[in-house]
Structure 1
Amino acid sequence: MSKSKLLIDIWMYVNKVKDFTAQEIADEFQISKRTVQRYITDLYEMGVPIEGIQGKYGGYHIENNKLLPPICFSLEETASIIFTYSILNNYISNPYNIEVEKVKDKLYAQLPDYLKIELQEMGQYIKMDVPIRHVQSTYLREILDASMNKNIIEIKYDSVDGVKEKRLVPIGIYSQNGYWYFPALDLKYDRINLFRVDRVLSFQVISKFEKQLSALKNWQQNCSNEKALVCVRYLINKQAARMHQSDWVDYRNYEWSNEFEEIALSIPNEAIPFFAQQLTPLGNGVKVLEPQALVDCLIEKAEEIINTYK
């Protein structure tokens, strides 16, 4: 077995057992204790957090670390990682506290020149994009950690009705249309509500939540089963689009070659009244083609405005 292969195997072994002696490694891999000690020194110099244990029995301990042994990737696997990570460039905040370009540079550095050229050429034919939102999600990582630890948190939240204090139990985070969201159990109302991470103004962990609570994946699955999506189609001009702030569509991706652009998207059926409320101030800058339920909501809101002036 080559030295590099044996070194990686030892790295994977100590990552698993955490506490070990040189003799245990020697027995496991059928090598001498002197060789083991040289390899442990090599791993330490590579950044693996191995510490010697003082005392009668001695040995070594590896800290809980997130440094992984080298992994071999094919060109397709490397491309999938690089292009997927590129999506994070569209977010000012991400939950990993990393610089995306550094991750890409590390992957590129391991490739031979001919594969770098092939990967760069592939990039000319692939685009993975999300709307760019210029908002800072300051507490994104903290909310993720609170979700995983099942913590009760206290936040100040910038809602439509003003800044409010809330006690919540978050169950995860997810991104959609350039924003980060987190569903959380609202302890005041004893139900799960949805919140935008960038609207959290302050954050504090209060205590542990002891009851059973669904994680994000189960919650989303239940929502998919309970909420039907409806197709929305409407015409909108550029001036109205500038006024329309929506979580479902980013108008900057449209070329506006005509006076009106046709927009098609899917929203939860229960969101129709809310979407109608968004469209009402746009006046004749927008015309809904479908569904009829949305048209009816707009007519009802227009009649309310007319009755105000009668």
Structure 2
Amino acid sequence: MPKSQRLIQLIMMINAKKTFTVQELADELGLSTRTLTRDLQELSELGVPLYSIQGRGGGYKLLQERLLPPIAFTESEATAMFFACQSLNEMGSLPFDDSAASALHKFYHYLPADLQKQIDRLKNRVMIWNPQRSMSPECLRTLLQAIMNHSVVTIEYSSSSGMTQRNIQPIGLYTSNGYWYCPAYCFLRNEVRQFRADRIRSAIRNESIPAREDIAQQTLLDKPDKASSERISFAIELTPQGVWALESNNRFGPSIMRRDDGSGTATIQIAQEDIRFYSDIVWQLGREAKVVEPAEAVAYIKQKIVAMNQLYS
């Protein structure tokens, strides 16, 4: 058996056994213990996380994560995989540690030289862009682990009503406009709610609370639909420049009504709880947009104007 094929088979056997002795593997593969010891040393140098157990009955143990056997990719698949992973770099925070960057480095390192050159020509010319938002990677990782293990998490959550402690059972994680969102069952409110990850100040898995099986069966396709909550009209006036700036916005663009002079209006239906979110979008346009209704949004914009005036007075 060629050495490369033998090492791949050895990786697969190690993944299955987790704990083993040299003699066990040598007997199964029909190799000498001396040859197998050299193979294990080579796998360790290649990054297989092996731990040597000393003493009577000792052997080897595979630490935590298993190492997957090689997978063959076509050139187009390799290019797609590279840029899919690279796009994660545009996120401000990720629910992983350094695994994504490490995987991308390994993937690129073992590509043929001509394919590396092709990818190099595309770097910073093709990307999936997201605005970077600041949030806790540790909290994201805890939520991700809870999703994988169907467990409950105790969080400190900052909302408009202040800081509260919640026990939640996460359903999933998704990102939109640079923010991470976590639909989860809230044991405090006894219903599924949506939590914005950047507002989670701390997250600790809570093994003392049993997870609900019905919640564990839900996916992101079952996330809360704000269409069922109270809806109000959010109306704005736009200058021609404001129309140009918002016409590509998927929230306002389809509702813009243009006038002959290039200016326009937009009226959309939003959830009551999202007033500040939409007001902040309009705020970014400065003099190019004016909130007409609801009154709460107008009052919120006026507060921001007063605060800004005080800052520069």
Q: What TM-score do you get using the length of structure 1 for normalisation?
A: 0.70
Q: Corresponding residue for 1:51?
A: 52
SS at match of 1:218: coil
Work out the CA distance in 2 between the residues paired with 1:106 and 1:277: 44
Name structure 2 gaps, 5 residues minimum: 229-233, 253-267, 300-313
* TM-aligned CA deviation for residue 3 of structure 1: 0.9
Kept after mapping to 2: 8 A contact 1:75/1:119: no
Q: State percent identity of aligned pairs.
A: 28
Work out the CA distance in 2 between the residues paired with 1:33 and 1:304: 75
* TM-aligned CA deviation for residue 153 of structure 1: 2.9
Q: Corresponding residue for 1:159?
A: 159
Work out the CA distance in 1 between the residues paired with 2:66 and 2:296: 60
Work out the CA distance in 2 between the residues paired with 1:85 and 1:304: 39
* TM-aligned CA deviation for residue 277 of structure 1: 6.3
Q: Corresponding residue for 1:265?
A: 250
1:18-64 CA distance string (max 9 Å, x none) = 23343442343333333223222322343431424643x65543333
* TM-aligned CA deviation for residue 79 of structure 1: 1.5
Q: 1:78 to 1:224 in 2, by over 3 A?
A: farther
Aligned partner letter, 1:265: N
- Asked if 1:82 corresponds to 2:67, the answer is no
Q: 1:119 to 1:222 in 2, by over 3 A?
A: same
* TM-aligned CA deviation for residue 140 of structure 1: 1.1
- Asked if 1:171 corresponds to 2:171, the answer is yes
Kept after mapping to 1: 8 A contact 2:172/2:220: no
Q: 1:35 to 1:227 in 2, by over 3 A?
A: farther
Q: 1:38 to 1:276 in 2, by over 3 A?
A: closer
Kept after mapping to 2: 8 A contact 1:94/1:140: yes
* TM-aligned CA deviation for residue 101 of structure 1: 4.8
SS at match of 1:203: strand
* TM-aligned CA deviation for residue 10 of structure 1: 0.8
SS at match of 1:182: strand
SS at match of 2:219: helix
Q: Corresponding residue for 2:135?
A: 136
1:164-192 CA distance string (max 9 Å, x none) = 22222223322122111112211122101
Aligned partner letter, 2:190: D
* TM-aligned CA deviation for residue 236 of structure 1: 4.7
Kept after mapping to 2: 8 A contact 1:172/1:182: yes
SS at match of 1:198: helix
SS at match of 2:213: coil
Aligned partner letter, 1:212: E
Kept after mapping to 2: 8 A contact 1:235/1:260: no
SS at match of 1:265: coil
Aligned partner letter, 2:136: S
Structure-to-structure mapping, 1:226-265, within 5 angstroms? 236=238, 261-265=246-250
Corresponding residue pairs, total: 273
Q: 1:120 to 1:12 in 2, by over 3 A?
A: same
Aligned partner letter, 2:173: I
Structure-to-structure mapping, 1:1-310, within 5 angstroms? 1-48=1-48, 49-52=50-53, 54-55=55-56, 59-98=59-98, 101-123=101-123, 126-130=126-130, 132-138=131-137, 139-210=139-210, 211-215=212-216, 218-223=218-223, 236=238, 261-265=246-250, 271-274=270-273, 279=278, 285-286=288-289, 301=294
1:176-224 CA distance string (max 9 Å, x none) = 2211111221112210111011111233333343231434x83322349
SS at match of 2:128: coil
Aligned partner letter, 1:167: N
Q: 1:173 to 1:280 in 2, by over 3 A?
A: closer
SS at match of 1:97: coil
Q: 1:126 to 1:92 in 2, by over 3 A?
A: closer
Work out the CA distance in 1 between the residues paired with 2:238 and 2:8: 58
SS at match of 1:214: helix
SS at match of 2:9: helix
Q: 1:22 to 1:304 in 2, by over 3 A?
A: closer
1:65-110 CA distance string (max 9 Å, x none) = 3443444433222222221122222222111111755443332221
Work out the CA distance in 1 between the residues paired with 2:97 and 2:297: 48
Kept after mapping to 1: 8 A contact 2:143/2:170: yes
Work out the CA distance in 1 between the residues paired with 2:13 and 2:297: 71
Q: Corresponding residue for 2:307?
A: none
1:109-137 CA distance string (max 9 Å, x none) = 2123211112233557633222x133122
Q: What TM-score do you get using the length of structure 2 for normalisation?
A: 0.69
Work out the CA distance in 1 between the residues paired with 2:279 and 2:225: 30
Aligned partner letter, 2:155: I
